[in-house]
Structure 1
């Protein structure tokens, strides 16, 4: 059954992998090139934050575009625009112009992910959805890691890597346009009362928001930090790639553990370890040990990136089935706002204190989640473990309305006996 599902959608999976690889490459490239062009840290933070602002805008606008003109036309349009915005950054080197182009890139990527993920969700069945989604998540993480190593193919001071990013996006477009599967429909999620979400699961709201702040800061300014301490391109790609590998390797075991105990306890100890891990990187820098710094980045990724999955799963534990869709879109919004704030706040600290403040900031954020988790554990009795839902694996780039629909449909439309079988495969 899974093979029959995978065969006709190989082009979708291929396209998603290439798009994610291009996104990861561009994110690090912009940070490195900004340093080469002597942009100050605050300007670089604004550029990185603009992507998340564009992503939020795109998540709100693109579903209506899809309803009006269809998936294929929207995908072709936003892919073309994404190629243009990336290439224009190599032509006009100005922080304000880059900010505008980066926002355009974020809007386009929101469209690309909405189209591909909703298409994938439409093809999947209840029997194959869990395994297909697991394959999708693994592919996303692997592509993000590979994207870092593409930095070594050409000097970031030239045009080559900008052109390569544009080519990758165009390459992803070709097979997707050749898919014969009828275009699915997409529904715009209902409005969410954020205050009601806070009252229902304050720890979940804190976790998904802080997850956005930390990932935005680390992925937006990590390459700039590495460049500032003298790493070459190969070392920078390893440095950033180590965080992706850490997040990919520990996402499953941490999620599995959270299913077997009070999920708030898992959030507590993961955030504590994440806070401690953040100090390893600057310690390695002070000791002039790149090996220790790589270990530190691995640990930071391993105990920071799974926070969104843990917090969103905790949130879903508290909700009725009919509330999950609006809650999912609300969590996406909060995570996007956090992603926009992260590079700005971290850049300001790096400018006013020192570059190591990036990791002090990450440590403080993880510690704040730990404090909220500890308070909630003492304030509210634990749920019965059997009443908890199943941990939802979420990749960092999967932040679209389409993803919310994918997870919600899997939770709400699957019969209970079939759902338990699916979870066994997925986890």
Structure 2
């Protein structure tokens, strides 16, 4: 495991710096927007702008990489990200923040895509799964740690924005100094929603509801915590607990879903998520909520809210060939990103009209509706309780790019198990029906009628 990580150590160090800076901004930006006087609905719209920018970055980054390569593109995107961070400190305009958050989403999508394509280039069939798991866990761990950085500045925008900018600037150094060869340019992202729908209706539907839930959380949970009277320390612990719950429970729930019909596991997750959301809503009105209770409920909520997408993705892959994993993952990721952009303003409308506590009513309602859909689908499309042919679950790193699906070791199974022979490659270019020739060669000799006078003619 360690030997596999040494050649990509510089890339992983840069990734850690990026995640510390970006993870800090995930919480800092909504709080800062609220302090500037933005309404909850406006904060939700800025969050939507980020998710739309992320999808845009996933689609456009391959064209930039083909032109200037990985190292230069990484340096440009990280530098631009740092500039955008500083512009947030100067800008007090809602329209300006919408534009900046869109650009931020596009920049971080490009940075993620470069890191993930580089990891994919350096991985092989023997260590691909280990690298993917380590990358997923490191991402979640760094974002969890980033939430604790809030305590350094007591939500002082100047200090915390500067700290995020420092981390993004430091991320340029290891990648720029690495002696490792940069990978070849990556192909453009192809999205085939119809293919995913054919393989798994639940996959697409789950991506939509997961986007509603997590998009609302990342855009508005810091506002919810601030309006609930949390101190900076309590807010940092609450946000960290949610991410930590998802990190700890993702693999156990995923492995459990390998042994049973994944839809049953998704029913359990969505039902539990709805119950925890309801409990959090009720507890929000209690005087003892902030502190241990909020952190505990946040941990439990993250265990279900932050793990649902990975199991929906695994369910979609169960009915697909290994060669389709990247296409399916890309389509589901784009669906997830666009749904996140929709979920944030809807949830903010709930908060603006009914109160900040209703954020968890929106997310709990999304869990509950998905649960009902799952039960209805399972009744009309029955599968055995024990799913012996489930693909092995692979952890995901949360909001990532389509390139990470190339790291999935299952995507190489067809190529490795059924190598194409030289004869097949030659015949693939011949425009004849060679199956008739094979059939003729295999026909028994005594069934061939040879005319005796044929040679005389």
TM-score bracket, shorter-length normalisation: over 0.9
- 1:189 Cα deviation from its structure 2 partner: 4.9
* Matched residue, 2:281: 282
Structure 1 position 367 matched with structure 2 position 368: yes
C-alpha distance after superposition, 1:222-245 (max 9, x if no partner): 111110121121111011111011
Q: Distance in 2 between matches of 1:311 and 1:118?
A: 23
Give SS of 2:356's match.
coil
* Matched residue, 1:156: 155
Alignment of 1:299-338 (within 5 A): 299-338=300-339
8 A contact 1:280–1:292 mirrored in 2: no
* Matched residue, 2:213: 214
Q: Distance in 1 between matches of 2:39 and 2:170?
A: 34
8 A contact 1:220–1:343 mirrored in 2: yes
* Matched residue, 1:119: 118
- The two structures, once aligned, show a CA RMSD in angstroms of 1.7
* Matched residue, 1:393: 395
Q: Distance in 2 between matches of 1:408 and 1:75?
A: 25
Question: Kindly tell me: are residues 209 and 203 of structure 1, through their superposed partners in 2, closer, same or farther at Cα, counting changes over 3 Å?
Answer: same
8 A contact 1:189–1:325 mirrored in 2: no
Q: Distance in 2 between matches of 1:49 and 1:309?
A: 22
Alignment of 1:265-276 (within 5 A): 265-276=264-275
Question: Kindly tell me: are residues 190 and 141 of structure 1, through their superposed partners in 2, closer, same or farther at Cα, counting changes over 3 Å?
Answer: closer
Structure 1 position 349 matched with structure 2 position 350: yes
8 A contact 1:189–1:401 mirrored in 2: no
8 A contact 1:35–1:227 mirrored in 2: no
Question: Kindly tell me: are residues 409 and 93 of structure 1, through their superposed partners in 2, closer, same or farther at Cα, counting changes over 3 Å?
Answer: farther
8 A contact 1:189–1:326 mirrored in 2: no
Q: Distance in 2 between matches of 1:191 and 1:414?
A: 20
* Matched residue, 1:294: 295
Alignment of 1:24-423 (within 5 A): 24-189=23-188, 191-288=190-287, 289-290=289-290, 291-382=292-383, 385-397=387-399, 399-407=400-408, 410-412=411-413, 415=416
8 A contact 2:216–2:340 mirrored in 1: yes
C-alpha distance after superposition, 1:132-172 (max 9, x if no partner): 21111111111010010111111434311111111101111
Q: Bigger CA drift: 16-25 or 114-123?
A: 16-25
Gaps of 5+ in 1: 418-427
Larger Rg over CA atoms: 2
Q: Distance in 2 between matches of 1:409 and 1:69?
A: 31
Q: Distance in 2 between matches of 1:55 and 1:12?
A: 21
Give SS of 2:47's match.
helix
Give SS of 1:386's match.
coil
Q: Distance in 1 between matches of 2:64 and 2:411?
A: 25
8 A contact 1:262–1:385 mirrored in 2: yes
Give SS of 2:372's match.
helix
Q: Distance in 2 between matches of 1:413 and 1:31?
A: 45
Give SS of 2:404's match.
helix
- 1:264 Cα deviation from its structure 2 partner: 0.8
Q: Distance in 2 between matches of 1:69 and 1:412?
A: 32
- 1:414 Cα deviation from its structure 2 partner: 6.6
Q: Distance in 2 between matches of 1:144 and 1:193?
A: 31
Question: Kindly tell me: are residues 91 and 235 of structure 1, through their superposed partners in 2, closer, same or farther at Cα, counting changes over 3 Å?
Answer: same
* Matched residue, 2:14: 15
Return the TM-score normalized by structure 1. Answer: 0.93
